[in-house]
Every structure is written in C-alpha cells, then in structure tokens.
Amino acid sequence: MKERWIVAYCGVLMSISSFSVDITLPSFPVMVDDLDAPFELVQWTITSYMIGAGLGQLVWGSMSDRFGRRPALAAGLALFLLGCLGAAFASSIELMLACRVLQGLGAAAAIVSSRAIIRDRFSGEALARNLALATAIFAVGPIFAPLLGAGVAALAGWRFIFLGLSVFAAGLLIVLVRLPETLPARAPDAMRLAVFVQRSRRLLAHPQSRYFVFLSAIVMASMLLILASTPRIYEHAFGLSGTTFAVYFAFHGLGIVLGQAANRRLIRSIGIVNAMIAANVVLVVAVMLMLGFIFAGMMNAILMTALITLFATSYLIVYSNAAAMVLDPHGDIAGFTAAFYGFVSQIGSALLVSLLVVVTGESVTGFAAALLAICLVSLAALLAWRPRG
C-alpha cells in the first residue's frame, strides 16, 4: 500500500468517531421518546462514547507498541463492531450508554493507531502536514454522517444507524488486511505498569508535549460542546430536527475541509504554532459574532450554521497541530504518546462538557457564552507559549 493511501486510510480511521457521534445527532428527539429518557441523558451518549474512547486509548497505545499497529487495530475494530450491534438492540438508556462506552473503547484503537501510523512514517513539518491531510479526510464524517443518519432513521429507524456503523467497522477490518505494519520495532515491555509510569513521566517532563497535551483538552471541549448542544438548540430555538437539522449541520464539515487545506499552507509559511494562533483568533471572532447576533435578536438557523461552519474551519487547525506538537518529540513511543494525548483531550473535554450541557440547557446565549470562554482560554494559552531550549 502506497504512503498516500496509508494516510488516507488513517483519515478514515480518524473519522470513525465523527461518524459514530454525528450520525446519531438528528435522531436525538426520537431517541428521547423511544428510550423514555431525559434529553440530557441522550446527550450523554456522546460524552459516554468519548469517555470510553479516552480510557481505551491508554490500553491500545501500549498494546500497539507491544504487538504492532495492525493487531491492536483489528481487536479494537472488532470491539467497536460488537458495541454497535448492542446499541442497535438497546432497550433502555442505561444499556445504550453502556454500549456507547463499549464503542468508544473499541474506536480508541482506531484513534491511536491512525496517529501512531502517521508518526511512524513522518516527523517534523511533514508530520503536521500529513496529520492535516488525514484530518481533512476525517471531515467526510461531519459532512455526510448527519445526512446519512437522518436518511437511515427516516427510512428504517434510528436503530439501523448502529447496524450501519457495524458494517462500516467490518469494511475497515477488510481493508486492514492490505495495510503494512509500520511499527519499526516492537517493545516487549510496553504493557508493564512500570514502563507505563516511566513513559508518562517522560512525556509530562517534556515542556512542549506537556503544554500541548493539556491545551488539546481545552480545544476539544469547544467542538464537543457544539456536538452535544446543537441538536437541542436547533430544535428548541429554531424548530429544526431530523433531516432538516442534518442538512444544516452537515455544512460544518465543509469548514473542516477548507480549514485543513489552509492549514497545510499555513504550516509551511508561518509555522505550526503561529497557524494555531491565527486559527484560534478565528474561533474567538466566530463566537463573538454569534453572541452579537443573539443579543441583537437577529440569530436564526442560517446565521448559526454559517458561524459554526466558520468555527469549524479553524477548530481542527488548533487540535491537529497540537497533536503534532505532542507526538513529534516521541517517535520511539508513538503509540503510547498518541494514546496519552487522546486520553487527556477526550476525558478532559468529555467531563467538562458533561457539566456544561446541564448548565447551558437549551439556551443559545448560555451555549455561546460557554463556547467563548473555552476559546479565550485556549487563545491565552497559545499566546503564552514560549519554546524551551
């Protein structure tokens, strides 16, 4: 398999989370009724998935360093498939949340392996550019997943969404047969607790990796808040749900594609961190415009969608470049580093957003205010960054 196809496959692996989350968003109101559950608990199907994905990465990262990228990826995709089948037949919100955690645990192998495989092949600015390319491919998920989910739910019911995700996982397993093993050398002791502790200390002792791994959790909380809140906001503030909501929401995926195309050029011209700062400024501007239209009484579904799309052009510039800053110094333990990065960013953001969705509820103003606070904190952190030594 040629390198460009390996990067493309990694992009599809990255999209497994966006597909798993975004494809369910249009069905939230129906799931509330069918599972006889409060809207907040249905929103937690996102954060429970992200918690599972974050915890799972700690396991899969070390496993991929010990046994190889391909075996770890195969086991994770099989677990994800099992979780999807369980969710398709879940009879209660409690069982649904458990199956979403299981899906997240399995999908974590895809998240870790995709970043580790790219780090196995590239370093420096080439690493950042290829992560940006894989992230642009990942944007296929946010574009098509809501539309696909709405279409499947309308034709066959929301449970068939999870059956479709199991078919997607099976397809990734079939393609995996062609993927070469990229791990340069297996680490026989990678699963030992002492080694885990030693590697954690090494990563956190590195000023660059430590700084950007925690920044990633702040940045990821912004998009996770959008994913968890928009179905409720579009339904209550604008009267849109189901397929109509999916059409509006799909536009933000186009923003991701445009942003990652720009990111590859920005990295070459102004560098990785400066590209992150420029993108974070766009995030702040987008949310301030959102608040301005809300206070002026002019906010509607079209304006909200346009501003979320603008936001999406820059969110993943910050997030994917943060991944490059964390991974680059640790090529010999790429699997573990990718796992630690994913764990901190996903668990940290999921816990934060689980609280925020309860506080903000269906308030458009509360949602925008919380989003602005997150973006201002991340911008301040980027401006405060000073390279060491």
Domain ranges (residues) in the chain: 3-178+191-384
Mean pLDDT of 211-229: 89
Could you report the per-residue pLDDT of 31-57, keeping only the tens digit for each? 999 999 988 888 889 888 988 988 888
Q: Give the pLDDT score at 21.
A: 83
Q: Give the pLDDT score at 1.
A: 67
Which structure tokens are listed for 25?
């968003």
Fold of 3-178+191-384: Growth Hormone; Chain: A; (1.20.1250)
Q: Give the pLDDT score at 83.
A: 96
pLDDT at 310 over 90: yes
Distance spanning both ends of the chain, measured CA to CA = 39
pLDDT at 213 over 80: yes
pLDDT at 218 over 80: yes
d(CA 150, CA 332): 43
Task: Decide: residue 259, CB within 10 A, 0-12 exposed, 13-18 middle, 19+ buried.
Answer: buried
pLDDT at 389 over 60: no
Contact 275, 59 (CB under 8 A): no
Q: Give the pLDDT score at 132.
A: 75
